[in-house]
Amino acid sequence: MSDTPAQTPAKTAFTPPTHTAPPARFSHGVRKGNILQVAGQVGFLPAVPGQPPTPAGPTLREQTLQTLANVEAVLREGGASWEDVVMVRVYLTDTGHFAEFNEIYDEYLAGTAGLTGPPAARTTVYVGLPAGLLVEIDAMAVLD
Amino acid sequence: MSDTPAQTPAKTAFTPPTHTAPPARFSHGVRKGNILQVAGQVGFLPAVPGQPPTPAGPTLREQTLQTLANVEAVLREGGASWEDVVMVRVYLTDTGHFAEFNEIYDEYLAGTAGLTGPPAARTTVYVGLPAGLLVEIDAMAVLD
Amino acid sequence: MSDTPAQTPAKTAFTPPTHTAPPARFSHGVRKGNILQVAGQVGFLPAVPGQPPTPAGPTLREQTLQTLANVEAVLREGGASWEDVVMVRVYLTDTGHFAEFNEIYDEYLAGTAGLTGPPAARTTVYVGLPAGLLVEIDAMAVLD
């Protein structure tokens, strides 16, 4: 818009090759200044041309691991990693999933992702999600 | 508070003339350092002195367009625009509204708002909102 | 991770002495660059070694005051205060709690916390929380 301050830092969007184009005018990942924001990710498998998004499976484990992999794909596409993430927002659909989710979350971050520095802050709440989805996660990272 | 670092950047709050004073001790928009945060906006029409807040209408379309206009009013009051927004959080009350919401969202951003740069990241979840409200949206922008 | 940019600012996590270790790999508070993020806090009383987390009480007032005190404890541990907070996210479980919550929120910020500058932006939505919990709050602050 014409009133955008001329000195505002550049804003860049990125979509991992594993991701489908977002269903609306938003970006899977965007960076402006020192902030990198990952949009809400769910447990969809890597996109297959011509096929609709498909969840990794019906279970919390399958969907959580895929969702975290999708968040990581966006972080990497933006030149960041879990070490740069300051906040993770977790949306579950069932309070009964909290303990299992935490086990999977820790297993992924410490194991698969190899996080060695201080973990991000996190907020977990229980909401409604589209049918079949048990978890959605977004993340904010701070870079230079 | 006395332990606030002396060198902390100035924090400023702003309220568009179209908005009523918030119902509690929060700001519709605030900027500190390079971060501009827009509080959760709903589909209330421009404030009329002496009258309670009134939704733009009962439909998702009416409320979404007004909510986005309200977010934009706060951004502009803070000297920002949609081009500066890195994250939009959308709270709907019915998963059945997702497709229609996306149509209206795209129509507003590309049309009314004239967004030409990369769109912000976004997370959409389904929650409870006060009676009669179908959508709430907040946004974070990064400036210099 | 090996691909973390070498020039990325340091990331530090902190846990107030009143807090138990988080139940998963996340930090109650973390700072990276100019961003300080407080994880979602609930109304648990100061931790007692060997005892499970205990809510301050069953009422919205008891839990809200304790939750705000817990957010403040994390802010202070990170060298920040409410004056530095730009966004507060409030998760309630009942829309009928909004008016009372606002009274308690204002009473705490203006009274107990002594907030004198512009208040943070805020978004309040209604979600599910673990049994017995009526409120969860997180906050983001901007420092130098």
Q: What is the pLDDT of residues C86-97, one digit of tens each?
A: 999 999 999 999
Decide if C130 and A95 are in contact by the 8 Å CB cutoff. Answer: yes
Residue A52: partners with Cβ closer than 8 Å, 6 or more residues away: none
Which amino acid, residue A98?
F
Decide if B118 and A11 are in contact by the 8 Å CB cutoff. Answer: yes
| Residue C101 structure tokens | 């919550």
* pLDDT(C82) > 90: yes
Kindly state whether C48 is in contact with chain B, defined as any CB-CB distance less than 8 angstroms.
no
> Which residue does chain B place closest to C100, by CA atoms?
B24
Structure confidence by residue, pLDDT tens digits, C16-58: 999 988 989 999 999 999 999 999 999 999 999 889 999 999 9
Phi, psi (deg, nearest 5) at residue C129 = -135, 165
pLDDT at residue A58 in the model = 98
Instruction: Choose from B75, B83, B116 for mutation: most chain A CBs within 10 A.
Output: B83
Q: How many helices (H) and strands (E) would you count in chain A? A: 2, 6
Structure confidence by residue, pLDDT tens digits, C97-135: 999 999 999 999 999 999 999 999 999 999 999 999 999
A79 three-class SS: coil
Decide if C35 and A142 are in contact by the 8 Å CB cutoff. Answer: yes
- Residue identified by tokens 């589909």 is B43
Phi, psi (deg, nearest 5) at residue A113 = -80, -20
pLDDT at residue C2 in the model = 44
Rg of the Cα trace of chain B?
Answer: 16
Decide if A144 and C27 are in contact by the 8 Å CB cutoff. Answer: no
Nearest to B109 among A25, A91, A131 (CB): A25
CA A110, A111, A112 angle in degrees (round to 5)? 115
List chain B residues with CB under 8 Å of C122: 22, 24, 26-27, 39-40
Kindly state whether C143 is in contact with chain B, defined as any CB-CB distance less than 8 angstroms.
yes
ipTM associated with this complex? 0.94
Q: Which of B12, B4, B7 is nearest to B32 (CA)?
A: B12
* pLDDT(B66) > 60: yes
Kindly state whether A127 is in contact with chain B, defined as any CB-CB distance less than 8 angstroms.
yes
Supply the pTM of this predicted model.
0.95
Count of pairs with CB atoms under 8 A, one residue in A, one in C: 115
Sign of CA dihedral B74, A41, A113, C22: positive
